[in-house]
Amino acid sequence: MRLAKPTDLGRDLVRFFEDYLPAQRGVSPHTIRSYRDALLLLLQFTARDSKRAIERLEIADLTPERIARFLSFLEAERKNGIATRNARLGAIHVFARFMASHHPELLGLLQRIIGLPFKHGAREAPIEYLERSEVEAVLNSIDRTTKRGRRDYALFALMFNTGARVQEVLDLRRRDVRLDAPCQVRLHGKGSRVRLCPIWPATARLLRNLMQESRSGEPEAADAFLFTNVHGRQLTRFGVRYLLRKYVVTASCVVTTLREKRIHPHSVRHSTAVALLKAGVDFATISQWLGHVSLNTTMRYARADLDLKRQALSQVFPEALAPPRGGHLLLDGRDLVGWLRRL
């Protein structure tokens, strides 16, 4: 069977992900994964739109008109928000600039791609998080009589405990877990930053049981990923999203408020942040706990929780906020506008 010859697009993709991003730009693995997801979605859309196999696509197939249709597809079909749409476009811009340096003959086409504008109007979406009763319902919906269920329970218990990003949890290896007092995990976050996060003794017991139950006879057991799938490979973010959605649907039969929420893996992180805030933990500690670069990122959780707003409201003078007393305002017929303003 004759092997297909790599296209210019295929060769550029390899150089982009294997050399340009990690070696020349020095971007983090999280950013590389984000760019990968964006370009994979674009290639899949282009293949369907052009009725060609992905491996046969050329650079010329990535026309500005097609990319504009792809961006519309993200919003209309995948229900992505403007912020996500702009993030995908940003990855495409970076890839187009990279290709422009290698294909001057296609500079006109690539400049038109780079010129595709970001969309304005992106609003900060309300933070979706779980209340304590909802967290308990999700965890209780997991069948812990099976090996896979015990893995899932340990996974989500650790996520609720640490408030870590889903990829930070999935990147955990056995050597990153300390099960003796003080129990803690070593998380590798954005920008290659490393932080230590304490875990409850109950969470440590779950992780100990998980590691004892998993395959440990490998020569490099300390380097083995903590959470793996049935094939022994690292669990993926998409797998975690699927599992969480499954357990939320089951839990919604018990706690009906879950039916009104759009819960995703990052909602678990939000839940931890709001729980810490309700417990009276200061913003600086929460910021360090979650691995935020800026304290402003942490401050948004104060705006998210209604109970905290009620608590703040109760601390001001209630009589200052009371509605005006009932009575009559005299209208003498001379100043109707002023009368209306005094109502």
Enzyme catalytic residues:
165, 190, 266, 269, 292, 301
- Per the CB < 8 A criterion, the answer to whether 172 and 225 are in contact is yes
Are 160 and 138 a contacting pair, CB within 8 Å? no
φ/ψ (deg, to 5) at 282: -75, 160
Query: How remote is the C-alpha of 60 from its chain's centroid?
Result: 33
Neighbours of 270 (CB within 10 A): 21
177 has which bridge partners? Answer: 185
Question: In angstroms, how far is the first alpha carbon of the chain from the final one?
Answer: 86
CA distance 149 to 167: 20
Which residue type does 63 have? T
DSSP label at 88?
H
Provide the β-strand partners of residue 20. none
What is the per-residue DSSP string for 12-62? HHHHIIIIIIIIII---HHHHHHHHHHHHHHHHHHHHHHT--GGG--GGG-
Q: How many CB atoms lie within 10 A of CB 233?
A: 9
Closest C-alpha among 305, 145, 111, 311 to residue 213: 145
